């Protein structure tokens, strides 16, 4: 081989090592042009193009290397990797499997095969390939990260937790390992531990909006609405054009009873993503909280324009029309919702809630009972029926429904709160205080969300005389 060509090839390889990709491409392309049979020039040129972000040319260069040297496992792997980056996963898997057959001891071949198999939805094979990669190289960091993700795909949260914990030990400054660990812990229901893992990740990368958003989600799972709101606001500060972050801020504002703030944030979110039917629906709900029924109607209609199958938006539209005393239109819309989703218990529960608000109690009871019949194991269905009874001042019936909800979900804070309110109305004030305190223990901010629960709690304390004792009792010394 010409000495000048070989010297230029070596220069190109050196540029590649130094991550000076434009110089590497220039030298290696010159070699490939002058010596088209130089398969290693095509191979290294493939990596130079890949690192420079040109995957199409990378795949072409790797392909030329394979054509010249079809039994090179490195060239086959490079071509497979590039094809995978371009979304040609079947071809990618076949190429990498051929490389592994020739050189089975290379850990990153197995790791890249696992990544490709995961993209194909072949999860068990992906996990096996990634475990083999780690067996061959116990310090292969991206192997652990991809294995953790593959396990999360399958809901194998305990295994994923262990894998991400190991990744964190290999690289203490790996924020993504802590993010993965948090996802696994959340899947196991260990939300406080997930919160801690995400806080550690944020310490490592404080300016990453998605970490703050994920922390907000974990705090939301724990019903820490105010803390969740803080994280969602921080995510939005870092990515101010994100509709998702604005939507999260709006939802938490609504949970905390800041209706005007919620409306402003939902409006901002919808302006950023005007094709999002769910945000339009949520904006409608916020308008309804503010008793702005005409605006709510417009938002629900917009949601239905974007998604004609959005049954919840159709039900809420019917409710908004009812409150505007447009009963014929409302009943047509609600009938359409029932026809659209005849076996959906939630639709019947929502309809029942709308009907009871308007004094159509017999219809509301019938609709609520149908909802429970359709979903007898749904705590929400029983709770909603209890809420309807409570609204209608039928505390005995409400109590039975709340008890049924709690039998299915003993930690259902709103059901404990509803039960406490029903007991208060029945004059069973001691039991009411116990139930309402239980609700508050599960959800520390529930009284801020539902002022009627707080009112019933204070009234029961007043009857029992406890409020005076709590205010005047001497401190222990």
DSSP class per residue in 356-420:
HHTT-HHHHHHHHHHHHHH-TT-HHHHHHHHHHHHHTT-HHHHHHHHHHHHHH-TT-HHHHHHHH
Among candidate residues 79, 1, 78, the one with its CA nearest the CA of residue 34: 1
Q: What average pLDDT does range 460-472 have in this prediction?
A: 67
Is position 312 within any domain? no
pLDDT of residue 39: 94
Lowest-confidence region among 153-162, 206-215, 219-228, 335-344: 335-344
- Tell me how crowded residue 441 is: count the other CB atoms within 10 A of its CB: 12
SS3 content of the chain, % helix, strand, coil (to 5): 80, 0, 20
- Among the residue ranges 75-79, 243-247, 391-395, 470-474, the one predicted with the least confidence is 470-474
Give the residue from 242, 261, 280 where a domain finishes: 261
The pLDDT tens digits of the residues spanning 250-260 come to: 999 998 989 99
d(CA 384, CA 364): 11
Span 307-332, average pLDDT = 89
Q: Is residue 247 assigned to a domain? A: yes
CB 146, CB 130: distance < 8 Å: yes
CATH number at residue 217: 1.25.40
Task: Answer whether residue 97 shows pLDDT above 70.
Answer: yes
**Total domains present in the chain:** 2
**Percent of the chain whose pLDDT exceeds 90:** 73
pLDDT of 446 reads 85
CA dihedral 72, 74, 76, 78 (to 10 degrees): -150
Q: Which tens digit of pLDDT belongs to each residue from 176-191? A: 999 999 999 999 999 9
pTM for this model (two decimals): 0.76
Rounded to whole angstroms, the Cα distance separating 179 from 169 reads 14
CA separation, residue 459 to residues 84, 247, 394 (Å): 66, 36, 18
* Measured distance CA(111)–CA(116) in Å, rounded: 9
Q: Where are the alpha helices (DSSP H) in 137-190?
A: 141-153, 157-170, 175-187
Q: Is residue 445 part of a domain?
A: yes
Q: What is the mean pLDDT of residues 6-28?
A: 92
Least confident among 118-132, 156-170, 447-461: 447-461
Last residue of a domain, one of 234, 261, 288: 261
In whole angstroms, give the CA distance from residue 388 to residue 81. 59
> Does residue 467 carry a pLDDT above 60?
no
Q: What is the mean pLDDT of the chain?
A: 91
Decide: residue 393, CB within 10 A, 0-12 exposed, 13-18 middle, 19+ buried: exposed
The pLDDT value given to residue 466: 57
pLDDT at residue 384 tops 90? no
Looking at residue 184, its pLDDT comes to 97
Single residue among 245, 261, 277 that ends a domain in this structure? 261
62-80 burial, b at 16+ Cβ within 10 Å, e below that, comes to bbbbbebbeebbbbbbbbb
d(CA 84, CA 90): 8
Task: Give a yes or no: residue 439 inside a domain.
Answer: yes
Is residue 241 included in any domain, yes or no?
yes
Mean pLDDT score, 459-464: 89
Question: By three-state DSSP, how is residue 87 classified?
Answer: coil
- Residue 460 maps to a domain: yes
User: What's the confidence (pLDDT) of residue 477?
Assistant: 38
| Domain enclosing residue 240, as ranges | 207-261
Q: Region 302-324: what's the mean pLDDT?
A: 92
Looking at the chain, the whole-number percentage of residues with pLDDT higher than 70 is 96
Q: Is pLDDT larger for residue 262 or for residue 325? A: 262
Stretch among 35-44, 78-87, 339-348, 396-405 having the lowest mean pLDDT: 339-348
């Amino acid at each position: 081989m010409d000495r000048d060509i070989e010297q230029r090839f070596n220069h190109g390889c050196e540029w590649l090592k130094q991550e000076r990709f434009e110089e590497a491409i220039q030298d290696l392309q010159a070699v490939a042009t002058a010596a088209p049979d130089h398969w290693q020039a095509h191979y290294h040129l493939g990596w130079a193009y890949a690192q420079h972000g040109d995957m199409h040319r990378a795949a072409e260069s790797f392909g030329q290397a394979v054509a010249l040297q079809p039994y090179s496992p490195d060239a086959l792997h490079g071509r497979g990797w590039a094809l995978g980056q371009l979304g040609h996963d079947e071809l990618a898997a076949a190429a990498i499997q051929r490389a592994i057959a020739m050189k089975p001891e290379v850990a990153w071949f197995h790791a890249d095969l696992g990544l490709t198999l995961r993209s194909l939805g072949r999860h068990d094979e992906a996990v096996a390939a990634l475990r083999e990669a780690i067996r061959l190289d116990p310090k292969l960091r991206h192997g652990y990260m991809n294995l953790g993700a593959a396990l999360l795909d399958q809901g194998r949260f305990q295994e994923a937790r262990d894998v991400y914990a190991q990744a964190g030990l290999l690289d203490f400054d790996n924020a993504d390992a802590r993010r993965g660990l948090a996802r696994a812990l959340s899947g196991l229901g260990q939300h406080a531990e997930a919160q801690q893992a995400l806080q550690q990740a944020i310490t490592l990368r404080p300016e990453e909006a998605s970490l703050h958003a994920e922390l907000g989600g974990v705090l939301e799972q724990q019903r820490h609405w105010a803390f969740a709101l803080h994280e969602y606001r921080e995510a939005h500060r870092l990515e101010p054009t994100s509709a998702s972050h604005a939507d999260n801020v709006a939802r938490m504002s609504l949970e905390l009873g800041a209706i005007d703030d919620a409306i402003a944030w939902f409006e901002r979110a919808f302006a950023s993503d005007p094709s999002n039917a769910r945000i339009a629906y949520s904006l409608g709900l916020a308008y309804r909280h503010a008793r702005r029924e005409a605006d709510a109607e417009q938002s629900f209609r917009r949601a239905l324009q974007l998604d004609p199958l959005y049954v919840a938006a159709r039900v809420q539209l019917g409710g908004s029309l009812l409150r505007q005393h447009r009963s014929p239109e409302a009943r047509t819309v609600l009938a359409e919702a029932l026809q659209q989703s005849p076996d959906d218990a939630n639709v019947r529960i929502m309809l029942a809630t709308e009907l009871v608000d308007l004094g159509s109690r017999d219809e509301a009871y019938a609709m609520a009972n149908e909802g429970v019949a359709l979903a007898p194991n749904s705590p929400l269905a029983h709770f909603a029926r209890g809420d309807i009874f409570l609204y209608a001042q039928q505390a005995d019936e409400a109590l039975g429904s709340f008890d049924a909800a709690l039998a299915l979900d003993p930690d259902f804070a709103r059901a404990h709160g509803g039960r406490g309110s029903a007991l208060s109305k029945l004059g069973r004030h001691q039991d009411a205080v116990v139930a309402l305190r239980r609700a508050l223990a599960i959800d520390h901010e529930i009284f801020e969300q539902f002022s009627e629960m707080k009112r019933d709690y204070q009234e029961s304390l007043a009857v029992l005389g406890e409020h005076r004792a709590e205010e005047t009792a001497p401190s222990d010394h």
